[in-house]
Structure 1
Amino acid sequence: MKLKSLLIANAVLLGSFALQAHAEDEAQLIKQGEYLSRLGDCMACHTVSGKGDYAGGLAIESNLGTIYSTNITPDKEHGIGNYSEQQFSDAVRKGVLPDGSRLYPAMPYPDYAKISDADMHALYVYFMKGVKPSSEQPPETDLSFPFSQRWGMRFWNWAFTSDKPFQPIGGASEEVNRGAYIVESLGHCGSCHTPRGLGMNEKALDSGDDQFLAGGSLNSWDVPSLRGLPRWSEQEIVDYLQTGRNDKAAVGGEMKSVIEHSSSHMTDADLKAIASYLKFLGGNPALQAYDVKKQQATEAKLTAAKGLSEGERLYIDNCGACHFVTGKGAPGIFPELDQATIVNAKDPGGLIHTILAGAQQPSTEKAPSTLAMPGFAKRLDDDQVAKLATFIRQGWSNNAPAVTKDQVAEVRKTLK
């Protein structure tokens, strides 16, 4: 009897240890999955202010119409609580739902296809056991014909996606390859920074093609190339991703939510890996040769404040206090205008929108202050904004085409 009791006690003890070990493993997977969800920026698209985390309902404007993000909480009726791990993986990596219907590539599954099996498992555990269920029912996406025919996505996927796993870059360092994995898969940077083809597909999905991260267009904003970033050091790339600002630039447009919900939560090691990878890509020449004489001439004229054009006068009156007569702004506070990507973009829409609507930097752990630029939509008419933007695009060392009042009017229509 004593031996039997001892065996039973040992079995109970071993079972207890096993349960504890399982609970610890699960807790670690949930923590890992939560971090991976930040790398993947799931929060930005699947969370609406005032609603539960991941409850969906965000309106995503596209060339096809408005697409609403879905509820990805573990709620069994309105969310993904009934998904098996394989079904979860198929939705994330292939854009295929359990009933066989197809997701639109507003969900960046062409990039998520490269997520590793181990990371996919951790994400599944997190979303099923680390996220609070929500019964929120987001609006249904209802695009016009023929885009409403989701079955057609089967052929789009066949033509424009790949099921190849992430391929490390031969001869590159471990840090560069870690950055490549984040950028090409979970980070889905190519979904905005890679040019699109006629089928609205990313023209390249990895660093094996020079078009990858070579720049694109999103909602009338020119999206800059990330290949090499010759004007930025690796530390400036890290600073920008971590805080939304560095000594040369400040975040604007869609990138603000990426900083707020994703990159500002990344570890220093992962941010350095991303910076190392982007610098490794190279192939992105500077905007133009820096014209010192032209820069000095603009600075001198603004300083003297004599014989100013209307654009120059508008700059002094509305912009000079923060960006100064040098166009250099204040490092880490007010961004540079001289040689800035948004200023010299082929499409001036981003610059026009910023002048009209203003901008506000996100509050992050490393930079909690929320510096804001006021919008001038009520203060300046279309002609004045056009002349101001033209001066900024052609002053100092900048050399971009003039802006018309019709271009300003078109951007003004988009303001909410």
Structure 2
Amino acid sequence: MRIVTLSLALLLALQSSARAADDALVQRGAYLAKLGDCVACHSAPRGKPFAGGLSMATPLGRIYTTNITPDPGTGIGRYTEEDFARALREGVARDGHNLYPAMPYPSYAKVNDDDVKALYAFFMKGVAPVQQVNRESDIPWPLNMRWPLKLWNMVFLDKGVYQDKATKDVAWNRGAYLVQGLGHCGSCHTSRGFAFQEKALDESGVAYLTGAALDGWFASNLTGEHNVGLGRWSEVDLVAFLKTGANSHASAFGSMTGVINNSTQAMTDIDIAAMTTYLKSLPAVGSAGALRYSYDGQATRALLTRPASDAGARIYAEYCMHCHGADGRGFAPMLAPLAGNPNVMERDASSLINVTLNGASDLVIDGIPSPYPMPEYAPVLNDRQIADVLTFVRAGWNNRSPAVSADEVAKLRKSTQAIQ
């Protein structure tokens, strides 16, 4: 009898230990899914988490993200771990069809086996199944055929997990692994070539993280470039931005708001520091001009002259000055500065036009929404007025950036309102 009792106790202990190990693996997978910001792309507005349906623009037409809940009929409930790994790292679904490279599998190819296992555990056991059929793309035939993607993968997919560089320390390698892999920062911040391929997948390529136009926004330069990159940001500045979405240089908007809300604010201090170490090591690429930015108060003096000296200045004084200040320095981190802001100085004005037209969604840090989100001015100001005020801002305080035309504003107004 004692032997039976001991055997039962041992069995229960083993089962408890196995459950604890499974729970730990699921929890680790949940954290890794946050690192990858999976929920942002695989959840539609007002939709259920990971059920897909988010519209994404591509050069060929709109596609819609897929259901990655463990529902066996419409999601990935029947995927084996091998199926999951293949989809994640090679862009091939369980039934053999190729995924569009809007899914950042060229980045996820670098994710190691242990992390893939944890992610699989999370999506199978930590996500609620949702029965929601995937929506077909709007890409017309024959451009919607998938077989050419096999050729695309042969040319552009670099298989193989991330390998530590012996010449770099632990923090740098961890940061590189996160930025290049699960963080897939290059998917937005690296320009793409004729076949929609990222022009570089790591720091060995000159185009890597130098900024790129994407779906009505311009994802900013993340290299050490002084004017439009991170050259003037300290490591403390970058940590603050990744944790809260704002610092003394800029505030997050557009799709970066979702990255802050769903991903980077949840990262451990060690991982945030590692990403910062890696990003701050990148050399300056994509110079916005030979002159390094330094503040000049001439625009402030013009604003304080009554009446203001030009149409853009008058609009700024009426609609912008109470938040961003007569001196353009804002009230960081609550209200973004415009003087010396990398997004203001960027040659491509898409982000500046877009956020002025459509505003910014709330940054939600530790469950608390930001008190002063950027409002939308599309219903208030016409194309000429927005062009004038942005031209004033881009020229003011020594920003020295090109003027914005009413045609640029009209084009972005039309394209972004079609999405909404």
TM-score of the aligned structures, taking structure 1 as reference length: 0.94
Give 2:7's aligned residue. Answer: 11
Q: Provide the residue aligned with 2:236 in structure 1.
A: 235
User: Is the contact made by 1:222 and 1:346 (CA closer than 8 Å) also made in structure 2?
Assistant: no
**What does 1:43-58 align with in structure 2 at a 5 Å threshold?**
43-58=39-54
Separation (CA, whole Å) in 1 of partners of 2:370 and 2:362? 8
Once the two structures are superposed, the pairs formed by residues 13-412 of structure 1 within 5 Å of their partners are: 13-228=9-224, 229-284=230-285, 287=288, 289-290=291-292, 295-306=296-307, 308-365=309-366, 368-412=369-413
Once the 2 structures are TM-superposed, how far is the Cα of residue 268 of structure 1 from its aligned partner? 1.6
Q: In structure 2, do the counterparts of structure 1 residues 291 and 232 end up closer, same or farther at CA, with 3 Å as the change threshold?
A: closer
For 1:51 and 1:291, the matched residues in 2 are separated by: 43
How far residue 83 of structure 1 moved from its aligned partner, in angstroms, is 0.7
For each residue in 1:325-348, what CA deviation from the matched residue of structure 2 results, as whole angstroms up to 9, or x when unmatched? 211111211111112222122222
> Please, which runs of 5 or more residues in structure 1 have no aligned partner?
none
Distance 2:63 2:331 in 1: 39
Identity of aligned residues (%): 40
The 2-side partners of 1:291 and 1:244 are apart by 23
Once the two structures are TM-superposed, the CA of residue 403 in structure 1 deviates from its matched residue by: 1.4
* CA deviation after TM superposition for structure 1 residue 373, in Å: 1.9
Q: Closer, same or farther in 2 for the Cα pair 1:370/1:151, shift >3 Å?
A: farther
Partner AA of 1:267 in structure 2 = T
Aligned length: 411
Q: CA deviation at 1:309?
A: 0.8
Question: Is this contact kept in 2: 1:243–1:366, CA < 8 A?
Answer: no
Q: Distance in 2 between matches of 1:307 and 1:39?
A: 47
Structure 2 vs 1, CA of residues 84 and 256 (structure 1 numbering), >3 Å: closer, same or farther? Answer: same
- Is the CA contact (8 Å cut-off) linking 2:206 and 2:285 kept in structure 1? no
**Counterpart of 2:178 in 1: which secondary structure?**
helix
Once structures 1 and 2 are overlaid, which stretch shifts more, 346-355 or 32-41?
Answer: 346-355
Give distance in 1, aligned partners of 2:163 and 2:58: 30
Q: CA deviation at 1:142?
A: 4.4
Alpha-carbon distance in structure 2 between the residues aligned to 1:391 and 1:305: 16
C-alpha distance in structure 1 between counterparts of 2:77 and 2:86, whole Å:
15
1:366–1:245 CA distance, 2 compared to 1 (3 A): farther
Structure possessing the higher radius of gyration over alpha carbons:
1
How far apart are residue 307 of structure 1 and its match?
A: 5.4
User: TM-score, normalised on structure 2?
Assistant: 0.93
Give the drift of 1:85: 0.5
CA distance in 1, matches of 2:180, 2:293: 36
Greater shift, 336-345 or 21-30, is seen at 336-345
